[in-house]
């Protein structure tokens, strides 16, 4: 795919584009923003190198794609003075790192974030990669019989799975039902929308059938052929589309430090 204002290098055939020829710390032209929208639709996750963003630039970049999604359950990790910015940090004192299980960010919310923009300023010498998987491919490679079975089904997404036990006592954790297969509002393509990080059961079928079906689908989305893997450097950015991609943050670098900030773009009700 050719772009007018930037270069996008394909990471794997299924997913991922490394973007060069753009400076996200400064203002962007309308043509650059249009190319970035198109590249995100094409590649599902975009990677950028050497972009030392401050909070203002990070938020400004996110606002080119929508509003800012502020999830109440991430309140304990908000950057001081910047509720739009979530601190993502792990070091020698960490006993838990969020996001190891395959997931789509905050699918427990009524309107989950369209996308997430993660900027890391400090990374371990090796490790701490993020792996991304293409949920269009996950859907497309199901059998026609399985596609017919999933059509019209909804599933419960519960933040207790992802955040239970690590949020302050008494905090209300969201729980919402979404279609098992959603249609991407921009590309019109169908994507599988259940994930191990949040989805608890498929509604309207016996629980044992739901458990078996979800186990199969959770395994299916992890096929290496659907994936790409991003190796972080200081001041790298990953911007992924939660509507058609899942990801897993690998915590293989303990006791090293991995640290940065995440801003999320508002999304709509999955349909």
The site for Fe ion (CB under 5 A) is made up of: 99, 105
Cβ proximity to Fe ion: between 74 and 137 the closer is 74
Q: Could you give the 3-state DSSP secondary structure of residue 249?
A: strand
Active site residues: 103, 105, 247, 262
**Max intra-chain CA distance, the chain:** 53
Residue among 99 and 124 whose Cβ is closer to Fe ion = 99
**Helical segments of the chain, H only:** 30-43, 55-62, 135-140, 144-150, 159-163, 207-220
Instruction: Give the residue closest to Fe ion by C-beta.
Output: 99
Within 8 A by CB and 6+ apart from 45, the residues are: 15, 16, 17, 132, 228, 230, 238, 239, 240, 241, 245, 247
Q: Which is nearer to Fe ion, 150 or 161 (CB)?
A: 161
Of the candidates 44, 163, 148, the residue with the CA atom closest to the CA atom of residue 101? 163
Kindly state the smallest distance separating residue 115's Cβ from Fe ion, in Å: 11
Length of the chain in residues, anyone?
271
The minimum distance between CB 3 and Fe ion, in angstroms, equals 27
CB of 62 to Fe ion, least distance (A): 15
Using CA atoms, how far apart are residues 52 and 160, in angstroms rounded to an integer? Answer: 34
Tokens of residue 12, six digits: 């794997």
Question: C-alpha distances in angstroms, 23 versus 33, 51, 61, 233, 262?
Answer: 12, 7, 11, 16, 18
Nearer to Fe ion, 28 or 98 (CB): 98
Under 8 Å between Cβ of 64 and 36: yes
Beta bridge partners of 132: 228, 247
Q: C-beta of 73: minimal distance to Fe ion in Å? A: 12
CB of 176 to Fe ion, least distance (A): 17
Computed on alpha carbons and rounded to an integer, the radius of gyration of the chain in Å comes to 18
Of residues 142 and 245, the one with the C-beta less far from Fe ion: 245
């Amino acid at each position: 795919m050719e772009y007018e204002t930037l270069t996008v290098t394909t990471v794997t055939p299924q997913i991922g584009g490394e973007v060069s020829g753009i400076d996200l710390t400064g203002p962007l032209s309308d043509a650059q923003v249009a190319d970035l929208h198109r590249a995100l639709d094409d590649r599902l996750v975009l990677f950028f190198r050497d972009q030392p963003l401050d909070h203002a630039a990070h938020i400004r970049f996110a606002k080119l794609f929508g509003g800012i999604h502020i999830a109440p359950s991430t309140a304990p990790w908000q950057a001081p003075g910047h509720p739009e910015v979530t601190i993502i940090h792990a070091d020698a004192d960490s006993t838990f790192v969020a996001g190891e299980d395959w997931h789509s960010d905050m699918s427990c919310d009524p309107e989950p974030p369209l996308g997430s923009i993660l900027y890391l300023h400090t990374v371990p010498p090796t490790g701490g990669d993020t792996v991304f998987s293409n949920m269009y491919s996950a859907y497309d490679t199901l059998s026609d019989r399985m596609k017919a079975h999933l059509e019209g089904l909804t599933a419960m997404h519960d933040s207790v799975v992802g955040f239970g036990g690590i949020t302050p006592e008494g905090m209300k954790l969201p729980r919402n039902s979404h279609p098992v297969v959603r249609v991407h509002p921009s590309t019109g393509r169908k994507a599988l929308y259940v994930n191990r990080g949040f989805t608890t059961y498929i509604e309207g079928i016996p629980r044992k059938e739901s458990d078996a079906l979800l186990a199969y689908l959770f395994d299916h989305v992890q096929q290496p052929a659907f994936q790409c893997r991003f190796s972080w450097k200081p001041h790298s950015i990953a911007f992924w589309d939660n509507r058609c991609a899942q990801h897993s943050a690998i915590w293989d670098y303990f006791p090293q430090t991995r640290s940065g900030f995440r801003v999320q773009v508002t999304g709509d009700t999955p349909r």
